[in-house]
Chain A
């Protein structure tokens, strides 16, 4: 492998990182190789000491993915950082994947249970007011308080879950960051 091939392989491996950042990374490694060669080290020896380009890219990807997940919370950033850290080692994957699933389960509960519950409560409460649109078959004296009760319970559950979710997200990303550090990155 030549220096150029090494740098191209590194660049390919850095997909997902912004082109500016990628350029900076490749430049720095390029400088390292050139500088070593100026000091009389053989090209092949320099590349061997650097370790595989794929391996190097994997380390960079983990650093960037975790940083992005911390800065911009989202499901896709969390998924990307999980996979980037998991690729550092199988052991990491086994530790972090159950935690990721917990987070997914929390999010699904929020959407599948809490939202419909709130909507149902709302429908029950307004049914007596809009008899042409909705018919719940429940007496208005029962339907309105019960529907409003259900709706406020759903709102409360939404806030509680949301906070739990946010807190878990923070814990999870700092956990990922810790595992990246433990890999010596």
Chain B
């Protein structure tokens, strides 16, 4: 897929996945790379930035399989940002779709 497309929507995808349910890094990355072919590492700096900007908060959960897992949860700011971005995306994708179809 076009790399510029991916760069543009990765943030929205990350917000959307965490918005559905809290998850830890590996879960989030697997879920995204199941749908989009990405360099998996790039998700982590993005998570860091979004956490700095107050979209996520993190908490640790003990795991039986290894060290405690760092979970991400969407904050109120994150939720409203997700809602805005999702609706912008739908408008935009719809418009592109109409142009591709050539209708009005």
Contacts and interface: CB of A to CB of B under 8 A. Distances in A.
Interface residues of B, number: 25
A159 interface: no
Classify the secondary structure of B's interface with A.
helix
A56 B52 CA distance: 17
A60 B45 contact: yes
Given A28-B70, A38-B66, A184-B8, A51 B42 contact: yes
Interface string A49-75: 111000110011011000100000000
Nearest to A41: B30
Interface string B12-37: 00000000000011100100010000
Nearest to A70: B52
Interface stretch (A95-103, A107-115, A137-145, A175-183): A175-183
Contacts of B6: 184
B7 A55 contact: no
Given A32-B29, A55-B42, A56-B44, 14 more contacts: A28-B44, A49-B33, A50-B41, A51-B39, A55-B41, A59-B42, A60-B45, A62-B45, A67-B49, A67-B52, A181-B11, A182-B8, A184-B10, A184-B11
